[in-house]
Structure 1
Amino acid sequence: MFSVVRYTNRGNYVISSGVTSNTFSGVSFIISKKLSDRILGFDSISDRIIKLKIDAHPYCINLIQVYAPTSDSTEEAITNFYLALAKVYVDIPNKEPTLVIGDFNAKIGKSSVDDHLKGIIGNHGLGDRNSRGQMLLDFCAENNISIMNTWFQQHPRRLYTWISPNGKYKNQIDYIMINRRWRSTILCSKTRPGADCGSDHQLLVATLKIRLKAQRKPQFNAIKVTRDALETFKDLIIPRLQQIDCDPFELPEATWSKLKATTLATAKEIKANQNPVPRAEWISAETWTAIMDRKKLKETGISSGPQHQEYRKLHHKVQNLCRRDINAHITNICNEIEKSSNTSNTKDLFDKVRTITRQFKPRNWSVEDAHGKVLIDKNEVLDVWRPDYQRRRLRKRGGAQSTAGKICDEAIGKDMEEQRH
């Protein structure tokens, strides 16, 4: 099993867990750049389960991403999956909000009158329940988890999460779940059938109302534009500012209001005309055209077999073109690195190397205790680290006991960082 943390061109981060022996399993998180400094740690459980902890207020948020065995798997495989998932879930404090999300390959169907399922499943499920769905419901009942897909009334096309290749069957097999104590924090859950994901699964989203810990940074009401749009802005703003009639006898506030109005109007005009979907620098015009064609086909709706076939052809074309472009982009950077090396241009050389090698390194406090259990809570990690830190301090002092009293956690934390590096 392996875990990978990599950096994307748009500033996001991908944390993956999987195995190298096959390509039929593996789970990942895509984390926005804004949330990168709130990640406390992650734990790659297996190629089907990964856990992430995010700093929030009043408690940390835990995310468990899963990919359950398919219908072709044995009963033993699905049983082992739920046992592993239960072990991960029960180790998390109940006071912390925990979301379990992913593809469970199970149909739970519409709501049941069973008393033990009240608060677990809502009134807006889809389809008929199968045996795997019953196993999922038993797991949720044992751990007091609510399946939030079924609690909000939506059109059926916003309930099903999977479409068969021929478009004949539509099922609800992906779920967003949360411990019942925090059920009221989910304001809405539905699929986005128009989202171009390049998959037979529909994008499933939820609105979660939990406050992240405040960052003490100044907030500005800025208008963000691309680099090309910024050059256009410069060409437009200069003649417009020159055309402003400024009376030397008027108040400074009046002159400032004219300058502000002209600048904001130009910036909003540029923002409205710029491409709303940013394009990575390595994507060629041919690839971008194929991506937009696939997106337009998805937005118009795919209801027939020929449309499904056309979408799959476009999807495979986009994948092949993207592989070609990224390989060409990396080859071009490597050629520039070689050229910079031959000309002894070290600054440009290291800049190019960083563009293809930089990785996101989360503030990972996680360690294993004596029993092999992964600890993420900071206080538990400090308790494990403290005896080792004390032994090394004694060795440095030649065996003499320290008279400084209790060792502060800041010193231990600093020592942890030094040992990691």
Structure 2
Amino acid sequence: MMTPRADKSLTDWRAVKSSVLLAQLKSKQCNVSIIVCYAPTNYSLEGRKEEYYEELQSIIDEIPERDMKIVISDFNAKVKGNNQGMEKVMGVEGLGEVANENGAHFVSFCSTDNLVIRSTLFQHKDIQKYALTSPCANYKIHIDHIAIDKERMGTLRSVRSYRGADIGIDHQLTIAKLILNLNAPNTNLDGIPRFDTTKLLEDEHRQIFAVELAKVYTSLKLRAVDTIEKPSIVISDILTNVSQVTLASLPDTSAMRKTIKHKRKSVRAPPPTPADLQELELLHQYKIYIPEEWRE
């Protein structure tokens, strides 16, 4: 789920693998690539784990280097609170004293791609860290993590779990607060053809337009039945094609802006410097009246 403003900044999303989703957002600072994935459990075969991290690494390599990378996943990885030797990758706020095998894979993956496990850097109560509780409530583990680029780790301000939310699974809801200045794509109308609709006020052009529209009415019905296109898109294409035949196109607004800008620059430009001062001609409003007795 996304807010309407965030939805406008969404440039692409796709399911790369059965357990990996990639979403890309456009912001004013840099583009943001968010990877949402699910890792094999700790009891899976070792070959399956290595294959998963190889696939995840190939996706990371395809993302442009200048993009902000955020990895959100149920890594099934227990990360211990002692970060000795891994200070650049994780903090000391991990839950537990012993890391499992998945935790070692996850830490190695983050170290390779210069990612920071941001969920281990915030000082929260233990009850706000764990993401999974066993059915018998014997143990509580912290296996849902969020990793981000080390250079932009400051944009991620908080990561914690909320127990009160019922999301239909055995995991707790994990919420992260991210500071981003999202940028909606350019919505100007320069690329859309504009037609002189005032010609429809004339009987001749109005009749021609009606005849051309009647010709394509049958093809419009067939196209709407044979394809899965939205009716609004089909109608827009038909009206555009008919208007191109019967109505004249108005000048492109971007070209008009360039012309006006060039004209303003030429008007505001200073006059050329004369080679001789005698060739300098003063405008009438700049001439000063001098009485005849003063001229001698």
Per the alignment, residue 119 of structure 1 pairs with 88
Residue 168 to residue 91, structure 1, CA distance change in 2 (3 Å): same
User: Does residue 1:148 correspond to 2:118, yes or no?
Assistant: yes
Per the alignment, residue 134 of structure 1 pairs with 104
| 8 A Cα contact 1:111 1:121, kept in partner | no
TM-score in terms of structure 2 length: 0.60
Counterpart of 1:51, as a letter, is: L
Between the two proteins, what is the percent identity of the paired residues? Answer: 28
Q: Considering only CA atoms, is the larger Rg found in Structure 1 or Structure 2?
A: 2
Provide the rounded CA distance (Å) in 2 between the counterparts of 1:178 and 1:40. Answer: 20
Per-residue Cα deviation, 1:165-201 (whole angstroms, up to 9, x for no partner): 1111100100011011111111111111111212211
User: Does residue 1:62 correspond to 2:23, yes or no?
Assistant: no
Counterpart of 1:103, as a letter, is: D
Provide the rounded CA distance (Å) in 2 between the counterparts of 1:151 and 1:203. Answer: 18
Per the alignment, residue 226 of structure 1 pairs with none
TM-score in terms of structure 1 length: 0.43
- Secondary structure at 2:44 match in 1: coil
Per-residue Cα deviation, 1:98-144 (whole angstroms, up to 9, x for no partner): 11001001111113211xx2221011111121111011101111111
Pick from 73, 79, 88 the counterpart of residue 108 of structure 1. Answer: 79
Provide the rounded CA distance (Å) in 2 between the counterparts of 1:184 and 1:160. Answer: 23
Per-residue Cα deviation, 1:262-304 (whole angstroms, up to 9, x for no partner): xxxxxxxxxxxxxxxxxxxxxxxxxxxxxxxxxxxxxxxxxxx
Describe how 1:241-280 pairs up with structure 2 within 5 A. Answer: none
Counterpart of 2:19, as a letter, is: R
Counterpart of 1:133, as a letter, is: G
- Secondary structure at 2:116 match in 1: strand
Per the alignment, residue 55 of structure 2 pairs with 84
Counterpart of 1:168, as a letter, is: N
In structure 1, runs of 5+ residues without a counterpart are 1-29, 218-356, 360-421
Counterpart of 2:75, as a letter, is: F
Residue 88 to residue 215, structure 1, CA distance change in 2 (3 Å): closer
Shift of 1:74: 0.8
Counterpart of 1:161, as a letter, is: A
Residue 166 to residue 180, structure 1, CA distance change in 2 (3 Å): same
User: Does residue 1:31 correspond to 2:2, yes or no?
Assistant: yes
Provide the rounded CA distance (Å) in 1 between the counterparts of 2:44 and 2:185. Answer: 46
Residue 58 to residue 85, structure 1, CA distance change in 2 (3 Å): same
Provide the rounded CA distance (Å) in 2 between the counterparts of 1:169 and 1:163. Answer: 6
| 8 A Cα contact 1:52 1:62, kept in partner | yes
Over the residues paired in the alignment, what is the CA RMSD in angstroms? 2.1
Per the alignment, residue 18 of structure 2 pairs with 47
